[in-house]
């Protein structure tokens, strides 16, 4: 198979790659990363992480016991975060459609798309089984939210570009890992914590796959990749942003220490940017240099916003503690 040379783009100052060219050029990297992933990833069974002995019937055809908030072993912030995290996982059909459309279903790309989808599917399975069996959340509300969220579907802000999509998931997979891990820590239930730690391990492996792929893209098309990373970082949104009540839930998760500006800056954006040395890459054309500068300025500004959030969070938590003791 032959591939046409990348066309020259004066604005980028270097040859510009089409999506088709990049997909072909990155195929060997995808195969290498896929083989590494399959070697490292460990098989695990979702049913082993669910406390089935705690389960009992709900109202309806089986005439079970109605759900009450006091039945939950999970903290208030844990319940909020678990619902957001599960609803995010629920839109897997839309995510699969999008990456299958962008990356294709053939060769190493296709093998990865299907493997990733299968692994992500386990996350939704185990989370829902845990939530219902342990009665951690209102089952009726959870199902209504699922129907509403999935009925809307999902379209990424980056569906227009394969390169933007790779850049996005390099950060988003890490963000998801952090959100799951912090939810487990704040859940108040060791069973929940153990389950989410297992999920977070998968998400970290997914992040490494996409991060390494993004690194290869920087070597092939540095200006285009820099522009894509700039666009993704400055406009980043979590995939659950369209779910019912997301803004309110996200605000409570931020104050509760699940996911906020400080975590986003320090634990998600910075690690990927540092690992790939994005702000140190040389040999860029005019567009790449401009994007690199914009990215650096944005990160500085985000750090400042995070400091202000830290102050507000500390004040809110101190006020809550004072009210609790009063």
The annotated binding site for Fe cation is made up of 89, 120, 123, 173, 203, 206
The string of DSSP letters for 119-163 reads: HHHHHHHHHHHHHHHTT-S-HHHHHHHHHHHHHH----TTTT-HH
Q: What is the 3-state secondary structure (H, E, C) of 203-223?
A: HHHHHHHHHHHHHHHHHHCHH
Residue among 169, 176, 301, 178 at smallest CA distance from 234: 301
Q: Give the residues across from 14 on adjacent strands.
A: 9
**264-277: buried (b, 16+ CB within 10 Å) or exposed (e) per residue?**
bbebbbeebbeebe
Query: Distance between CA atoms of 319 and 326, rounded to whole angstroms?
Result: 11
Q: Using alpha carbons, list the distances in angstroms from residue 104 to 27, 100, 197.
A: 11, 5, 31
Structure tokens at 177: 């890992």
> What residue numbers does the annotated binding site cover?
89, 120, 123, 173, 203, 206
CA atoms of 149 and 124, how far apart (whole Å):
14
Q: Where are the alpha helices (DSSP H) in the chain?
A: 19-25, 27-40, 76-90, 92-103, 107-133, 139-152, 162-187, 190-220, 222-234, 246-255, 261-263, 270-275, 286-325
Strand, coil or helix: what is 9? strand
């Amino acid at each position: 198979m032959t591939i046409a040379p990348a066309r020259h783009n004066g604005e980028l100052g270097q040859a510009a790659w089409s999506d088709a060219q990049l997909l072909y050029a990155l195929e060997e990297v995808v195969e290498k990363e896929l083989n590494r992933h399959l070697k490292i990833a460990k098989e695990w069974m979702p049913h082993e992480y669910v406390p089935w002995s705690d389960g009992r019937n709900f109202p309806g055809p089986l005439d079970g016991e109605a759900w009450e908030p006091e039945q939950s072993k999970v903290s208030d912030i844990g319940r909020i975060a678990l619902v957001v995290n599960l609803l995010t996982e629920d839109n897997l059909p839309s995510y699969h459609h999008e990456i299958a459309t962008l990356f294709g279903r053939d060769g190493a790309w296709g093998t990865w798309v299907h493997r990733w989808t299968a692994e992500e599917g386990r996350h939704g399975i185990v989370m829902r089984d845990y939530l219902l069996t342990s009665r951690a959340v209102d089952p009726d509300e959870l199902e209504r939210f699922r129907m509403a969220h999935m009925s809307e579907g999902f379209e990424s802000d980056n569906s227009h570009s394969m390169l933007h999509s790779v850049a996005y998931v390099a950060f988003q997979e890490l963000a998801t890992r952090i959100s799951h891990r912090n939810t487990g820590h704040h859940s108040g239930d060791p069973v929940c914590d153990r389950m989410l730690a297992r999920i977070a391990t998968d998400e970290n492996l997914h992040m490494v796959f996409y991060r390494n792929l993004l690194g290869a893209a920087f070597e092939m098309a540095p200006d285009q990749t820099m522009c894509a990373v700039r666009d993704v970082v400055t406009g980043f949104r979590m995939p659950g942003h369209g779910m019912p009540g997301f803004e309110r839930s996200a605000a409570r998760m931020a104050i509760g220490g699940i996911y906020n500006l400080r975590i986003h800056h320090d634990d998600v954006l910075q690690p990927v940017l540092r690992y790939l040395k994005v702000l140190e890459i040389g040999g860029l054309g005019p567009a790449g240099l401009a994007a690199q500068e914009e990215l650096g300025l944005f990160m500085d500004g985000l750090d400042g916003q995070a400091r202000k959030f830290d102050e507000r969070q500390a004040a809110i938590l101190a006020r809550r503690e004072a009210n609790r003791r009063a």
